[in-house]
Structure 1
Amino acid sequence: MSRRTLPVPLAAAVTATAVTLTGCGGTARSSTTTPLVDHGTVRIAGSSETPSFNPYSAFGASQARFGYDSLVNVTPDGAVVSGLASSWQATTTTATFTLRPGITCSDGTPLTASAVARALAYAGDPANQLAGAQTVLPNVPFTASADDRAGTVSATTAAPFPFLTRTLGLLPIVCPAGLDRPQSLDRATQGTGPYVLTRYTPGGPYEFTVREGYHWGPAGADTAQPGLPARIVLSVVPQASTAANLLLTGGIDIASVNGPDRARLTGHGLAAADVATVVGLTFFNQRPGRPLADPALRRALVSALDRQGLANVAVGGTGRPATDFGAPGAVCHADLADANLPAQDAVEALRAAGWTRVGDGPLTKDGHPLRLRLITSPDIGPTLPSVAELMARTWTALGADVTQVTEGLPALVNAMYQTGDFDIVVGSTPGFALPVGFIPFFSGPTPAQGLNFAGVANPEYDAMVAQALHEADTTGCDTWNRASAALLRSADALPIADGRNTVYGHRTTFATTFGGQLVPTSIRLHQ
């Protein structure tokens, strides 16, 4: 079996909605002290509908944890703990997992090592074009095998990959009944998870019912705990303001809220788990024929920006300039930006790069004015148009002709992956839990052959990545950070601000993983 990188709907580098299966998160803080409610119903609000609950699709991956388990799990503090597997070991080319005994699928059939190997092989087969699985699995070819007598599942990669436990081990495992009829997975679950999808309504709500006898969750979590809800109802609430209102009135129990609406929820005794994000992750189009293919121009334009001012706009007055491409809590996250971003006199740097300006006229080189197309979308962050506007004003003051375009999400994706008609794109993301997630966006082919939509070509980054891929798990963090530093020095991309969303709970407590994904077995309902 071989794998190749397949384009996913909206680069995870900009929205990263499907990569919340890995990494670190937090436990919700709450003033709730009321008694627990057994066999109750918890109502959760999502911002968009789920047209498919297939955990390997681009849409179903975010809800996979309710109906599906993985071989291992990651705790809120980033530690790897048991899941379907009771033990595991990995190098940069092999991984072996030993299954717990007594695991059953939702249809009652026992889970075997062969069934797990089959799921890994199916999810990783490029012919199946499974965008959700792609965001979890290694981006190198691998083969999977099983020993049912020993209860072990093994995988071998064709090239070194350092995070096999945190990728192969975190794939939601679909049981054989689901693999036999993949189309059924859109509106039914066929996994070993703590809940089963029992009602699907187009556009929502969606209802999950707890499984009795489940005892193989994260670190051995089970469904017999007091306060664990018997039913989970997922409703679609597109507006953060509406979600905030429903939390305050008890119309819903759990919702993620960002922006100014978070202020209204303070002091009401709600549980709160913060989700780190990078607001304003900015890419510069370096494809041939675009002006920002010139690294000297990119560095000069980045030097001109007021990073603190941009961070204040991005977050709302008290912003902190971002320190890395991924959010705090990601594996290998470090404070890299200040020491590596270009810091020079922008006017002098432009002059040295051959750009001239007469009086208040346009900035020109070889008789051609500097024209830049700056695009963003409020659909992925309400403050992003204001961030882009401040950038545009700064560069206009230097003499650039900046066209600022605010797009809907489909148009933004089209510009990034189809037309390539942009010079700067400003997005927002929690980033990737693992540094390997950024590789296809900072290297390799451009669309449609790859995901490198900005056409980044940085030999130093490529060399550091090649070295880091041979260093197992977090032992290579220093090398990964040197790779990221090379991107910052070349102004290949610019993270604007470290921000946060918050997952709130009314009458509930819970834990989240990186990106705000709920841990189903952690949810507790109170009176």
Structure 2
Amino acid sequence: MFGYSLFSTSPVRAAAAGAALALLAAGCSSGGAATAGASGADSGAPVQGGKLTIAVSSFQPCLDVSLTGGRNSTVTHQILDTLTDQDPKTGEIIPRLATKWEVNDDYTVFTFHLREGVTFSDGTPLDAKVVADNFSTLAALVGEGKTDTLTLNALNSFSGAEVVDPLTVRLNFKLPELGFLRNASDPYLAILSASTLATTTEERCAGKLVGTGPFVFDQIVKDKSITLKRRADYTWGAEGVVAHQGPSYLEGIVFEAVPESGVRVGGLVSGQFDISDDIPITDLPQLRSAGQTIVSRVVPNLVPGMRPNPYSPLGSDDAVRRAILKGTDRKEITETLYPEIYKAPTSIVSSGTAGWKDFGADLAYDPEGAKKILDEAGWKPGADGVREKDGVRLEPKITYIIGNFFGATQQELELAQQQLARIGVKVEIKANTPADNAAMLKDISKADYDFLTGSGASKDIDFLAGLFKKSNSALLNAEQPELEAVADALNEAATPEARTKAADDLQKYVIDHGHWIPLREQTKVVAVSPRVKGYVLDTYAAHFFHDTWLAG
């Protein structure tokens, strides 16, 4: 589950960069195993049957990921299929519900040829009409403002769908969509049955969803648990993603909402749970010593960090932003607060995001360089060491959301606070509840903060185009023409080569001018019982259970 996101809420077209996904090589420690994205590789012949129980930190508020932009896809990821998929090792786009496709030279027309014999769990066939209706219905919801930003960005230039023949559908766009094949692998563009499309958004959020995936809903107990059961007739897993064809090995999966981390940890050790999600890093040594397997993978996203308020005197000061970026020691934050499976960020997006480029040298800790920037800009140390300029003290207010690990934690900010004090910056840390934060963001021009922490989920770097345009509600039409121009270049690139260059340029510009100040690279960490075999985290760092089985 992803937390607070600073994505655009305005129409921008999606884009792409073809970089392969980089996997985190997780370390091992005595008494337990740590693997990069998988468990139980050397476990012998798979066993059919059994029900796996996974403890998660919260119940998904909306089960339809097309409405939530792919966030909270933990459960529905198991019941839905997409047109395309991604090779988990290379990031290459590969067939799933579509066996092949053609794209015109302008990247505005995508023709998909669908797999024969696929059915939804209600028995109705997958055909071109239902796929066309999926995109038309979703585009209408986008127009009504009923979807999340990722869905909006993927479909804002969608102009219609055509049924070419019963198993061929053509999707048309007004603008070049170089990233659409990757978007089509995202869960928010998963294909739903005609019966689902006929329901209300409220019914879909509550779980009235019918897909073509390997599992189906069995029971939903709101705010408590969700039980899935396998489809006996599922035979169309994506080659290169699934390890076996045919139905899933597990008979069923139970997701239990367990808010208390100690209960999730204790329940795993005692055998009450087979997998525990959202594991606090402080509990990893205990779990390893108890023989549990630690599975991890870098989350493809805008890395947790700080965004300046363009309306505040300090947030709008280029020298202040650049100095804070150079005066923040990301390596110390990572090594002090996190185990060896975590790495310091090397860009504003994670190394697991397609289109990432390594700008680690530009993010190196450089306190002397930070001091020089401030000196040259007229920020001089006062009697107590805190810098001042024109009667204003350099005391930026930085906010974080209580309980939101996916933005920035209090511990991270406190360590950054100590680091920045060394260069004459006195940071004030402000804690917000999610409700307080939402209220504050209604008008950032009047909000009492200089930097806001956050992060955001995406497989591809395309989302950066909207993130740094003034039409993003997080920028509230603030005039930043140079930033706008670099974002526009990514938004308007019409070839893969131009897209790659524009994505690199935007990452570089944002870092050089401190428009996003990375703190850490987000890593998904899951604790798994030794009896769980064949479990993996996929390219989203999301649970993938098709090949999972239970031993003993």
- Shorter-chain TM-score above 0.5: yes
Q: In structure 1, how many angstroms separate the alpha carbons of the residues matched to 2:549 and 2:438?
A: 38
Match of 2:307 in 1: 284
Matched, 1:345 2:369: yes
Of 84, 92, 112, the residue aligned with 1:97 is 112
Look up the equivalent residue of 1:284 and give its one-letter code. Answer: R
Work out whether residues 357 and 504 of structure 2, in 8 Å CA contact, stay in contact via their aligned partners in 1. yes
Conserved? CA contact 2:465–2:487, under 8 Å: no
User: Equivalent residue for 1:72?
Assistant: 84
Q: How far does residue 413 in structure 1 lie from its aligned partner after superposition?
A: 4.0
Alignment match of 2:349 (pick from 321, 326, 335): 326
Question: Structure 2 residue aligned with 1:109, among 78, 100, 124?
Answer: 124
Q: Report the Cα distance in structure 2 between the residues aligned to 1:317 and 1:40, rounded to whole angstroms.
A: 34
- Unmatched 5+ stretches in structure 2: 9-19, 24-35
Aligned residues: 509
Of 39, 47, 50, which aligns to 2:57?
47
1:175-213 alpha-carbon deviations (Å, 9 max, x no partner): 110111134322332222211112110112111111121
Are 1:405 and 2:430 matched, yes or no? yes
- 1:365 paired residue among 389, 410, 413: 389
1:423 to 420, 426, 450: 450
- Deviation of residue 143 (structure 1)? 2.3
Tell me which of 166, 171, 174 is aligned to 1:158: 174
Partners in 2 of 1:84 and 1:291 — Cα distance?
50
1:177 equivalenced with 2:190 (yes/no): no
Residue 263 in structure 1 maps to residue 285 in structure 2? yes
- C-alpha distance in 2 between matches for 1:96 and 1:161: 13
Q: Does the alignment pair 1:393 with 2:412?
A: no
Judging changes above 3 Å, is the alpha-carbon distance between structure 1 residues 184 and 230 closer, same or farther for their aligned structure 2 residues? same
**Following TM superposition, by how much is the alpha carbon of 1:466 offset from its aligned partner in structure 2, in angstroms?**
2.0
Counterpart of 1:85 in structure 2 is 98
**1:225-281 CA deviation, whole Å, 9 max, x = no partner?**
587112111111223332222222221112322412122222555444312158973
1:380, distance to aligned residue in structure 2 (A): 2.1
- Does residue 4 of structure 2 align to residue 10 of structure 1? yes
Hey, what does 2:515 align to over in structure 1?
492
Q: Give the superposition deviation at 1:499.
A: 5.0
> Which residue identity lines up with residue 52 of structure 1 in the other structure?
C
Deviations 1:399-438 (A, max 9, x none): 4443211233333344345553321223456x52211122
- Structure 2 equivalent of residue 17 of structure 1: none
| Corresponding residue to 1:436 among 449, 455, 462 | 462
- Aligned twin of 2:224: 204
Aligned to 2:295: 273
- TM-score, normalising length: structure 1: 0.85
1:285–1:292 Cα contact (<8 Å) kept:
yes
* Mean CA deviation greater in 201-210 or 308-317: 308-317
Which residue does 1:28 correspond to in 2? 38
Displacement of 1:352:
1.6
Letter matched to residue 550 of structure 2 = L
Change (3 A) 1:181 1:23: farther
1:376 CA drift (Å) = 1.6
Residues 356 and 51 of structure 1: is their aligned pair in 2 closer, same or farther, counting only changes over 3 Å? closer
Tell me whether 1:134 sits opposite 2:134 in the alignment.
no
User: TM-score normalized by structure 2?
Assistant: 0.82
Deviations 1:421-464 (A, max 9, x none): 321223456x52211122322223242xxx44795836257336
Q: Secondary structure of the equivalent of 1:381?
A: coil
- Aligned mates of 2:143, 2:210 — CA distance in 1: 21
Gaps of 5+ in 1: 1-7, 15-21
DSSP 3-state at the match of 1:462: helix
- What residue is the counterpart of 2:234 in the other structure? 214
* Residue range with higher mean Cα deviation, 149-158 or 341-350: 341-350
Paired amino acid for 1:425: L
How far residue 477 of structure 1 moved from its aligned partner, in angstroms, is: 2.9
Seen in structure 2, the aligned counterparts of structure 1 residues 279 and 116 have a Cα distance that, compared at 3 Å, is closer
| Corresponding letter in the other structure for 1:409 | P
